A and B are shown apart, each in its own frame.
Chain A
Amino acid sequence: MGQALDVHRLQFAFTITFHYIFPQLTMGLALLLVYLKTKALRTGDEHYNRAARFWARIFGINFALGVVTGIPMEFQFGTNWAAFSKTAGGVIGQTLAMEGVFSFFLESSFLGLFLFGEKKLGRIGHWVAGFLVFLGSWLSGYFIVATDAWMQHPMGYRIGANGAIELSSFWDLLLNQWALWQYAHTMLGAVQTGCFVMAGVGAFYLLTKRDEFYGRTFVRAGVLVGAIAALLQLFPTGDIQGKLVANNQQPTLAAMEGLFESKEGAPLAILGQPDVEKRKLDNPLEVPEMLSFLTYRKWRAHVKGLADFPQAEWPDQIPLLYYSYHVMVGLGTIFIAVMVVSYFLLWRGKLFRSRGMLWTLMVCVPLPYIANTAGWMTAELGRQPWLIYGLMRTANGISPRVAAGNAWFTLIGFMGMYTVLGILWLFLIYREIELGPEPGNRPAGEDTAVLAAD
């Protein structure tokens, strides 16, 4: 530690991990808000509008934090990763600029209307505003994932005269098959965060015997949507992502699975600690031949281990990559179990009386955040040692003139500032949940919004 490269990497990892706490919730909640607004429109029941307003307040806080922590991400491509930007900006600049032009304008314009203009817009108009916020946030997710997918699996480019990478096919960049599957997988992860948060808050209301109509609405919405998302997360999206890695990033697959030696009928490690120095997995708990089957659909298929690749091609943080992957998969499995059981109880009409299951839903709230973070860590640590897979090494991407000392200065600054923001965020969200969806609990003069008079 202390080399400029390490500090630049740590700063990017830290700022993006913190940033992604917010969009994963807003993207998931955006879908659920559309669900609540549709219910309100169909049933004419004012409760659903109040429920939507309650979640819109939580959405607003998260959106604002997502915006302010998102700007540093765009800036850091230039400030900390100048050599990378100089080489690849002509390609990934496309998707990043499109995100600004197509999604942020849409999202921010209609969020303002959604939060401040319900009276003005009327019932249908307000639904449309909510839908456009959803559309904007989901489009934005696509452009970001397409950018990352290009770094994972570059398509539609050529090397220009001055050594820079140029775009050669717009549609290959935009419709990269890696991007399509990674997008589906990422968005399902965001939907699960939204669902677990909504169901968890609902469970909290039911367990504390307050706002029970809302409690039931939130649990129902969270479980109905969450169960579908949890299943699709594994199959087909997770499965196909795995195959894409197996076909295109072979050393990454071996490192994720902790497979040091090549094998026919390779086992799937459920638990165990990779020892990179001795090139083995300690205390392995394995399912025989499972990895071969999952990867190639043949029990005796040959899977290449890390030993088959020169060490310079290995991801440089193998244990962290291995654990991220296992945490993601483990939690994903737990989510399926929790959501499917909840779904079953809901169908049998027993969920709202089952204290055990409500407790489970409530304590699960932090878990999808961890799973989403672990998933992104798997993708990004798995891409190492490449910045653009097969084209540019991470070590060659940093800004040549920004010294480690300057990077430390800003990293520490971000850590301090984000700690304060994180505390404020928890405090404000807790407060919104405590005040609840019923109007009238709110002290006079708070959250006064603004209406323009004609």
Chain B
Amino acid sequence: MGTIWFWLVAIMIVVYVLLDGFDLGAGAIHLFVAKTDDERRQVLASIGPVWDGNEVWLIAAGGTLYFAFPVLYASAFSGFYLPLMIVLWLLILRGASIEFRNHIKSAVWDPLWDFLFCASSLLLAVFFGAALGNVVRGVPLDASGYFFEPLWTNFRLTEETGILDWYTILVGVLALLALVMHGGLWVQMKTSGKVHERAGRMADRSWWGVLGLTALVTGVTFRVQPQVKENFTTWPWGLLFPLLAVAGLAGVAFELRKKEERKAFLASCAYLTGMLISVVFGVYPMVLPARNPVYSLTVATAKAGDYGLKVGLIWWVLGMILAAGYFTFVYRSFKGKVVVDKDSHGYGD
């Protein structure tokens, strides 16, 4: 039962990254691919109707994590206290800047929100990557099952680690580049004209960075977290996941050359899915590795009671079918390229 939920939560996190990933990426490149007000409206329009639905995946994944692994939620959230609070503030700033920007047209109003939107998206991508890096590297858990990490200590991988050290920063930068590529491909697919061209170029350039850092981070990770190597040796079929990531990354380059914008975006989805599932597969059955492996939280020690997990399975499946239905409907309704329309909210008057 715990293992089932381990994978269900992992899937929800992957969906979150795929969906909110493109709007975070779109935010991170906002100032660079869109220069005029019309162009910026195009970028915002490409994510406008869907970004908060995407963010709901974070809330739903968080809620599901809380319900299935309360011990992990308690330990990880209190241990990552400061970075999570900073993430919250960034999410607030970002949400406010998307929502408030178009209410007023003024030479001092929109640039402010455009800047905040871009900066908060960029930093969120780095922080989410660093958080993933922390989970892989392991945290200073002790016998109490709790820990508290400062933002940084000496940036080295010692016992007293901080949130940011050279490894987690590296993962953070990879996350940023990967989401820049992902967001660039999305914006390219949804827009036309100059924004479309610049977003495509942005995705193309970041591809090289993603390629280089993926190779580097993968190599380093095998040293930082020995469990990863062990899992891939025990269950070699798990190598399918890194293969998916490689195929996805190759696919992005291939489809970009062929100008297949939709397929390029889907290939980027495959890359992100492959990378994330590889990590999840690599740390299983740990849910939060400790620097001292004795204190690691595992599926068995972190899960909630079996009755609750069984009941949860019923409503969760039902809820996900409904959610998949809504998302399909919404994305279909807003399919195609955006046009910035002078009509207010699509009404006739």
Tell me the A residues contacting B by CB distance below 8 Å: 46, 49-50, 53, 56-57, 60-61, 64-65, 67-72, 74-75, 77-80, 82-86, 88-91, 93-94, 96-102, 104-106, 108-113, 115-121, 160, 164, 166-168, 170, 399-403, 406, 409-410, 413, 417, 421, 424, 428, 431, 439, 442-454
Contact = CB atoms under 8 A, between A and B. Distances in A.
Contact of B67 (A82, A94, A110, A452): A94
Contacts of B312: 94, 97
Interface centre among B78, B80, B322, B340 (most CB of A within 10 A): B78
Contact of B66 (A77, A421, A454): A77
Nearest to A454: B336
Pairs A-B, 9 closest by C-beta atoms: A89-B70, A78-B77, A93-B67, A166-B305, A90-B304, A100-B60, A450-B45, A101-B319, A399-B78
B98 to A, nearest CB: 8
Interface in B61-118: 61-64, 66-68, 70-71, 73-82, 84-85, 88-89, 91-93, 95-96, 98-100, 102-105
Contact of A75 (B67, B84, B343): B84
Given A109-B329, A116-B334, A68 B105 contact: no
A450 B66 contact: no
B344 A112 contact: no
Given A97-B60, A116-B48, 18 more contacts: A49-B347, A53-B347, A74-B63, A77-B66, A78-B77, A93-B304, A104-B60, A109-B329, A164-B71, A167-B307, A413-B85, A413-B89, A439-B349, A449-B341, A450-B49, A450-B341, A452-B334, A453-B336
A101 B75 contact: no
B338 interface: yes
Contacts of B349: 46, 50, 439
Contacts of B304: 89-90, 93, 164, 166-167
A89 B73 contact: yes
Instruction: Report whether over half of chain B's contact residues are helix, strand or loop; otherwise say mixed.
Output: helix
Given A78-B77, A85-B66, A112-B49, A105 B323 contact: yes
Interface string B315-349: 11001101100110110011111111111111111
A89 B342 CA distance: 48
A97 B85 CA distance: 21
B342 A68 contact: no
A417 to B, nearest CB: 6
Contacts of B60: 97, 100-101, 104-105
A85 B342 contact: no
B52 interface: yes
Given A77-B66, A89-B304, A448-B341, A112 B52 contact: yes
Nearest to B77: A78
B66 A417 contact: no
Contacts of A89: 66-67, 70-71, 73-74, 304
Given A106-B322, A106-B326, A449-B341, A60 B99 contact: yes
Given A118-B345, A401-B147, A446-B103, A421 B67 contact: no
Contacts of B336: 452-454
B345 A400 contact: no
Contacts of A448: 41, 102, 340-344
Contact of A451 (B85, B95, B102, B346): B346
B191 to A, nearest CB: 11
Contacts of A164: 70-71, 304-305
B4 interface: no
A410 B151 CA distance: 14
Contacts of B98: 64
B74 to A, nearest CB: 4
Contacts of B78: 78-80, 82, 399-402
Contacts of A71: 55, 58-59, 88, 91-92
B91 A86 contact: no
B59 A100 contact: yes
Interface centre among A94, A97, A111, A164 (most CB of B within 10 A): A97
Given A90-B305, A166-B308, A97 B64 contact: yes
B240 interface: no
A96 B315 CA distance: 13
Interface centre among A65, A79, A98 (most CB of B within 10 A): A79
A185 B194 CA distance: 54
21 contacts: A67-B55, A68-B96, A74-B62, A78-B84, A79-B85, A85-B77, A89-B67, A90-B304, A96-B66, A97-B63, A97-B312, A99-B63, A100-B63, A101-B316, A102-B322, A112-B48, A160-B305, A400-B146, A401-B147, A448-B342, A453-B336
Given A85-B74, A447-B345, A78 B103 contact: no
Nearest to A446: B105
Interface string B276-313: 00000000000000000000000000001101100110
Interface centre among B53, B56, B93 (most CB of A within 10 A): B56
A450 B340 contact: yes
B345 A116 contact: yes
A92 to B, nearest CB: 8
A295 to B, nearest CB: 36
Contact of B49 (A88, A113, A160, A444): A113
Contacts of B145: 86
Contacts of A90: 67, 70, 304-305, 308
B264 interface: no
Interface string B145-156: 111100000000
Nearest to B142: A401
Given A113-B49, A449-B48, A452-B337, A401 B79 contact: yes
B44 interface: yes
B52 A97 contact: no
Contacts of B61: 100
Contacts of B75: 82, 86
Interface string B29-49: 000000001000100110011
B99 A61 contact: yes
A96 B63 contact: yes
Contacts of A401: 78-79, 146-148
A79 B311 CA distance: 26
